[in-house]
Amino acid sequence: MKIYLADLVYDTIKTNYVVPLNIAYLAASLAERFESSVTIQLFKYPTDLERAMRQQAPDILGVSNYSWNTRLGNLFLTLGKELNPAMVTVMGGPQIRHDPADILTFLQARPSLDYYILHEGEEPLTHLVHHILQQASPEDLPSGVAGRWKDGLLYRPVEYSSQPREIRGPSPYLTGWLDPFLANGEMIPLLETTRGCPYGCIYCEWGAGNLSKLRQRPLAVVEAELDYVAEHAAVRSNWIFADANFGLLKRDLDIARKIQSLRIKNGSPHYVTVWSAKNTTQRNLEISDTFRGDASQGTFAIQSTIALQSTDPEVLEKTGRGQIKFQRLHEQILAYRERGLELSTDILIGLPGESAASHLKTLQEAFALGFARIDPINIRLLPGTDYESDSFRREYRIETRFRPIFGAYGVYHGQRVFEVEESVRATQDMTETELNSFKVLHWLIYFCWNAGFFRPQLRFGLEHGCNPGSVLQQVAQTDDPVLQPLFAEMRALSQAEWFATEKEMLQHYEQPEHYGKMVDEFLKLNFAFCAQVYQKEATFMALERVINERLRIALSDTAPEVQAHLQGICRLSTLLLCKDPLESPIEWQEKAPADTLRYLYPNLCPEGAGLLDVVIQRNPQAVEFCRHHLLVGGKKDLSVRNFSRFLEMGGMMHLRRELRVVS
């Protein structure tokens, strides 16, 4: 029996994707159970899958179902039935409601889909394949598999609360299923040490009650996987851990030590992304200290995220985060800061109970807490979460709009296909006008703070009682003749990209001229405006001038030396700006006070240092990265479109020069 499993992403736009860990778990389980009775192939790119299906159609086709590939997956199910009407088609993933009536509606809307597997897939799919091989009665479906029978639904959910805490089953890394993807220089290793989350956030699939039990993979298997990935991965820079709460278990400290030992031994990974546990302050700090290791071993970055979402207690209670102790989060954040560790946070807009005033307060408090990165995010409604349900929509009078998902479009099987995002645009507590009014402030946070262009002077202002959130809110409302029309355009475009209904959006982009325009012109507005402002010197200078003016006004009652200090910070920050992304490697020496440098690099200077010799440089690696993305066919391409893609691929970090202390 031939089985194709696909975790599809659109290959229209070149970017970095994670390895298909999900379907590799399925393949490893099937291979262990059925051995030579089945042959299995894994696919990430739709072009590869279409080619393989036309060469030889499988007996079973399984596709994943996420917000970014749901319509694409359905297209391939349809193609499968056209090529082989006897083909068994299976879909699995979180993009589905869990009520039996909704599951049946989902299946009925997809005539080419035979079965759907909800939640974890290893055991249900293995049992389904056995069911098919044995030609069992159609009425005798395994638990966890949903299918149609006559005019009704056949489905018995798996009871995950009775599952053992240890996750059994073969490792997809150690059994070699991910080798071709690890060898791909565009695939980022993804690792999973636990499943489940004890916190019931209403907007998150992990919040579903039957997924609340925390289960773990054997530590010996996890460590063996880390060894394997370190040896075989072509991408050596970044590893991502899919755990919802890394640090919740004591053994996570052992895992951190293992990663650090591999970094010292093999030089990779350079960077680790984890989502930190919410209520385990001391262990999280020990993990971060472990990742930092010995500075003599070279630099190593861990991107720890503590997702606040909101700081309003009433909002947190309504969103299912009431059991997360905010005081403990606060202590954890402060302890990170004392160690010189950087944290990022996510802030959601459109939560139940969140007003415009409380959202602004949350942003200001995120600055006050010292987050190095603050990401305000629209809430994408995900089927299967409480917030997407009809009852929550009614209770909080949620209004939504629809837009395309950037990069999620292509032509396959001779058809134009694209994905749809449904996001919250208003609630009973925040109007659509209020929500859209935050677009400029959110962009300013991204460009000025997260990207670092004006973070040094904003950080100085914060230390002197001037919250960056308040400063940037004032900037968003400026009447500056250069910035005002830019911000008006930003608000207008952010409103215009939304459609009132999914049907309206589909009808619009199914027209060839509109589809072509989406492919050629549709950009993420954050990146598009970053590209525009960075490349227009007059606009960049206007933004710099308005920010610095606001800071000077806010600090006007301070001593003259404070004002002079601010000027010194602004001057040094400007020297680090790389005005030409294609400039050659460059290096020169400056003198700078340590007390100024600490606003640019908080952990760079020893305590009590005075005037220091520093080197400002543009290193060859940054130049190579920029030239790789911005020289197309040997010709400079600084168009907004290409520059936006360059930024999305990580180019933002290469638009500022580096600084190091030499004495």
- State yes or no: pLDDT of 270 exceeds 60: yes
Helix 252-266 to helix 281-292 angle (10° resolution) is: 10
- Which residues contact residue 616 at a Cβ distance below 8 angstroms, ignoring those fewer than 6 apart? 575, 576, 587, 588, 589, 590, 657, 658, 659
Tokens of 154: 């056949």
Contact between 200 and 320 under an 8 Å Cβ cutoff? The reply is yes
Contact between 252 and 287 under an 8 Å Cβ cutoff? The reply is yes
Contact between 473 and 441 under an 8 Å Cβ cutoff? The reply is yes
Q: Which of 367, 398, 372 is nearest to 385 (CA)?
A: 398
- Kindly report which listed range (340-349, 366-375, 459-468, 543-552) carries the lowest average pLDDT score: 340-349
Residues 79, 58: Cα–Cα separation, whole Å? 12
What 3-state DSSP class applies to 31?
helix
- State yes or no: pLDDT of 71 exceeds 90: yes
Q: Give residue-wise pLDDT tens across range 210-266.
A: 667 889 999 999 999 999 999 999 877 789 999 988 989 999 999 999 999 998 888
Beta strands of 293-372 (E only): which ranges?
A: 301-305, 343-349
- Which residues contact residue 429 at a Cβ distance below 8 angstroms, ignoring those fewer than 6 apart? 352, 353, 354, 355, 396
Beta bridge pairs of residue 60: 3, 88
Residue 638 half-sphere exposure toward CB, CA atoms < 13 A? 14
Q: Identify the pLDDT of residue 192.
A: 97
DSSP string, 440-455: HHHHHIIIIIIS-SSH
Q: Identify the pLDDT of residue 299.
A: 47
Q: Give residue-wise pLDDT tens across range 79-89.
A: 999 999 999 99
- All structural domains of the chain with their residue ranges: 2-118+121-157
- State yes or no: pLDDT of 300 exceeds 70: no
Identify which has the larger pLDDT, 630 or 210: 630
Q: Is the peptide bond before 189 cis (omega within 30 degrees of 0)?
A: no
- Which residues contact residue 462 at a Cβ distance below 8 angstroms, ignoring those fewer than 6 apart? 367, 368, 468
Buried b / exposed e over 302-338, threshold 16 CB at 10 Å, is bbbbbbbbbbbeebbebbbbeebebeebeebbeebbe
Question: 637 pLDDT band (50/70/90 cuts)?
Answer: very high
Backbone angles phi, psi at 173, to 5 degrees: -75, -50
Residues 531-537: what's their mean pLDDT?
95
Helices (H) and strands (E) in the chain, counts: 26, 24
User: 2-118+121-157 architecture in CATH?
Assistant: 3-Layer(aba) Sandwich (3.40)
For residue 510, count other CB atoms closer than 10 A to its CB: 13
Contact between 85 and 28 under an 8 Å Cβ cutoff? The reply is no
| 142 DSSP assignment | P
Identify which has the larger pLDDT, 380 or 406: 380
| 136 DSSP assignment | -
DSSP string, 444-490: HIIIIIIS-SSHHHHHHHHHTT--HHHHHHHHHT---TTHHHHHHHH
- State yes or no: pLDDT of 170 exceeds 60: yes
- State yes or no: pLDDT of 332 exceeds 90: no
What 3-state DSSP class applies to 95?
coil
- Which residues contact residue 533 at a Cβ distance below 8 angstroms, ignoring those fewer than 6 apart? 447, 486, 539, 540, 543
For all residues of the chain together, what is the average pLDDT? 91
Q: Give residue-wise pLDDT tens across range 505-525.
A: 999 999 999 999 998 888 889
Which residue matches tokens 């950037």? 406
